[in-house]
Structure formats: structure tokens, C-alpha cells
């Protein structure tokens, strides 16, 4: 069970804050995530997000196999579907878009070209590469959700942080991510008045909690406790808000990333006083649970 370190939020009665959007450095990572995520990748709380990625990790398994022993299957009756038989696997596995690209890269074949071919032709090319390239051990990540999918193909020394482990670490600081602690999803900026309102409902449109079959991304702010740093030209307070984001992928090259900032109005981050951590996972370590300690003092 996740241990929670709950910090009581301090509510500010103000309806909003005047924001000077011309100040600071614009970092487009957060707004890019907000703009590109489809509805089925958006979550309304860290609990919902954690439950989803936790179920996925519980259905997952890894194995180490010899690449030359992988058999690629396709049927003329289903020219769009390609399946793989892994050594000692009880049933075929279906490669995802991502893992197919990893397999193609392993044998030196252009994945974009193979995806345009009928499955039988793509299977012949992929099988040829697996049999004729130097055989090597690879680590697979499979997920059984009624149909077994091959989610990733990596080297055997690949170190993996599961998405659920990252969300566990975030919840120790941010609770549910909805305002039960200082940390919550951000409010909204009225661009006509340049007034930032921290008190908005969390919806699929406003949330900044995302997860796909490839990664997880969380952006939270402490926008009910502004930091005043002088005055704007109109005499209103010039305020900053602390914020941070975390990103992780179970299937991409071994890296997790986080950024903590003291200035975070709306869907942009004004990175004045920011700490970015981008950590390449060490090889030979199967699990590297994330810790928030590098910037934990700044988040309290």
C-alpha cells in the first residue's frame, strides 16, 4: 500500500491572479502534452492514473530469448495482422506499433516501409533479418489483456521503471493530485484579461495527468500558494507558482525525466529557477524505483 506524505493545502480566497505572459522562458513540453493527448490518455486524478498503469504492470511479464529463435507468422486470410512466436511461449504475441519498430531496428530494416507491406511480405522480410543477423539475447515485455501483446524489445541489461512506481513516488508528495495536498492540476488562464484562475474543475480538457501504452506524464502546481515577487506595471502583485512535471516510459530508451520550477502559470512553465533531472537508467538493474528526493525540499 502506498504511504502518503500529506501536506495540508493553504486555500487562497482570491478568484485569480494577474499574469504577465511575456516574462520568463517558455518551455513547450507541458503545453505540447496537453495539446496532443487524446481523451483516452487523460485522467482526472492520480488515483485513477495509478490504478490504470498498476493493472497494466500486473498483467506484464518479461523474458529473455535468442533473437534467431523468434518465428514471425502471418496469414493470407488476415493480411493486416502479424504475429510472433517466442521461445517457450504458449501462444503467439501481437507486436504493438512501438515494438514492431524496435524489432525492425534490431534487424536493420526500415520500419516505416515494412508497415506499408501486407503482413505476409513484412513477415518474410522480418524473419529473414532475424535468421541472418548475428543472434543475440533480447528482453521482451509482454502484456496479457485478453490478447498477448509484445510491448517492447530491448537489450537484456535494460533497466525499467514501471509507470506505477513513478506515480507511487509522486503520490507521496501530491496525494490524489486534485487539491487534497498543496499539489494539484493547474487552473486556467483567461487570455483576454490575463487573469489566471487556479480554481477550475478538473475535466478531460483541463487535466494534466496522462498515460498511454508507451509512457506516463504528470504536471502539478502549487497555485493556491503564490510567491509574490514585486509588482506588475499596473500595480497588481507579480506572483509565481511552484510546479513540477514527471515523465517516464516503460518501453522507450531507458530514461525518466522530471522538472521542478518556481514559476508555473497556466499551461506554460516560466522556467525562472528550474531544476531538470533527466536520468538514464543504469544497465544490468531490472528495476530502478524512482525517488523524488533530488528536488523534494523545493516541493514542500
CB-based contact 298:292 (threshold 8 Å): no
pLDDT given for residue 1 in this prediction: 44
Burial state string for 90-99 with b = 16 or more CB within 10 A and e = fewer than 16: eebbebbebb
CA distance 283 to 148: 26
Rounded average pLDDT over 168-195: 89
pLDDT 10s digits, 37-76 = 999 999 999 999 999 999 999 999 999 999 999 999 887 7
pLDDT 10s digits, 15-35 = 678 777 776 666 678 888 988
pLDDT given for residue 296 in this prediction: 46
pLDDT given for residue 17 in this prediction: 80
Rounded average pLDDT over 180-199: 87
pLDDT 10s digits, 155-166 = 888 888 899 999
CA distance 237 to 117: 60
pLDDT given for residue 81 in this prediction: 82
CA distance 150 to 73: 14
| Three cell numbers written together for 226 | 503564490
Q: Where are the alpha helices (DSSP H) in the chain?
A: 29-36, 46-58, 97-107, 111-116, 119-132, 163-174
* Average predicted confidence (pLDDT) for the chain: 79
Query: pLDDT over 70 for what percent of the chain?
Result: 75
pLDDT 10s digits, 88-100 = 888 889 999 999 9
Rounded average pLDDT over 107-113: 92
Please determine, for residue 180, whether its predicted confidence score (pLDDT) is greater than 80: yes
Q: What are phi and psi of 120, to 5 degrees?
A: -60, -40
CB-based contact 218:167 (threshold 8 Å): yes
Please determine, for residue 5, whether its predicted confidence score (pLDDT) is greater than 80: no
pLDDT given for residue 269 in this prediction: 40
pLDDT given for residue 253 in this prediction: 63
Higher-pLDDT residue of 277, 154: 154
CA distance 117 to 293: 48
pLDDT given for residue 204 in this prediction: 93
Rounded average pLDDT over 135-148: 88
Range in 88-92, 203-207, 292-296 with the lowest mean pLDDT: 292-296
CB-based contact 262:272 (threshold 8 Å): yes
Q: Where are the alpha helices (DSSP H) in 59-110?
A: 97-107
pLDDT given for residue 123 in this prediction: 92
CA distance 155 to 158: 6
145, 131, 121, 114: which is closest to 52 by C-alpha? 145
Cell 512535471 found at:
245
Which residues pair with residue 195 across a beta bridge? 18, 190
pLDDT given for residue 209 in this prediction: 96
Report how many helices (DSSP H) and strands (DSSP E) the chain contains, helices first: 6, 17
pTM of the predicted model as reported, rounded to 2 decimal places: 0.78
pLDDT 10s digits, 163-176 = 999 999 999 999 99
pLDDT given for residue 273 in this prediction: 43
| Three cell numbers written together for 137 | 539475447
pLDDT 10s digits, 210-267 = 999 889 999 999 988 888 777 777 787 777 788 888 899 888 765 556 665 545 444 3
CA distance 41 to 23: 31
Amino acid at each position: 500500500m502506498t504511504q502518503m506524505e500529506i501536506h495540508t493545502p493553504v486555500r487562497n480566497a482570491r478568484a485569480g491572479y494577474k499574469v504577465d505572459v511575456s516574462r520568463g522562458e517558455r518551455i513547450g513540453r507541458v503545453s505540447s502534452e496537453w495539446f496532443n493527448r487524446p481523451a483516452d490518455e487523460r485522467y482526472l486524478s492520480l488515483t485513477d492514473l495509478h490504478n490504470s498503469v498498476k493493472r497494466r504492470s500486473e498483467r506484464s511479464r518479461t523474458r529473455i530469448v535468442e533473437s534467431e529463435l523468434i518465428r514471425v507468422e502471418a496469414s493470407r486470410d488476415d493480411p493486416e495482422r502479424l504475429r510472433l512466436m517466442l521461445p517457450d511461449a504458449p501462444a503467439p504475441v501481437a507486436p504493438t506499433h512501438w515494438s514492431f519498430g524496435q524489432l525492425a531496428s534490431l534487424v536493420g530494416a526500415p520500419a516505416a516501409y515494412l508497415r506499408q507491406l501486407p503482413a505476409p511480405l513484412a513477415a518474410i522480410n522480418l524473419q529473414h533479418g532475424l535468421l541472418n543477423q548475428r543472434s543475440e539475447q533480447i528482453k521482451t515485455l509482454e502484456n496479457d489483456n485478453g490478447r498477448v501483446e509484445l510491448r517492447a524489445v530491448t537489450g537484456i541489461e535494460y533497466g525499467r521503471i514501471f509507470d506505477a512506481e513513478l506515480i507511487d513516488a509522486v503520490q507521496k508528495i501530491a496525494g490524489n493530485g486534485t487539491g487534497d495536498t498543496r499539489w494539484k492540476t493547474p487552473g486556467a488562464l483567461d487570455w483576454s484579461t490575463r487573469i489566471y484562475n487556479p480554481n477550475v474543475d478538473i475535466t478531460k480538457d483541463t487535466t494534466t495527468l496522462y498515460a498511454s501504452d508507451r509512457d506516463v506524464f504528470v504536471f502539478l502546481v502549487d497555485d493556491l500558494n503564490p510567491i509574490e515577487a514585486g509588482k506588475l506595471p499596473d500595480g497588481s502583485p507579480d506572483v509565481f507558482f511552484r510546479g513540477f512535471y514527471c515523465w517516464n516510459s516503460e518501453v522507450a530508451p531507458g530514461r525518466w525525466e522530471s522538472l521542478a520550477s518556481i514559476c508555473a502559470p497556466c499551461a506554460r512553465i516560466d522556467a525562472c529557477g528550474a531544476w531538470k533531472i533527466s536520468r538514464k537508467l543504469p544497465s544490468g538493474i531490472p528495476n530502478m524505483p524512482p525517488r523524488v528526493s533530488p528536488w523534494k525540499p523545493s516541493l514542500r
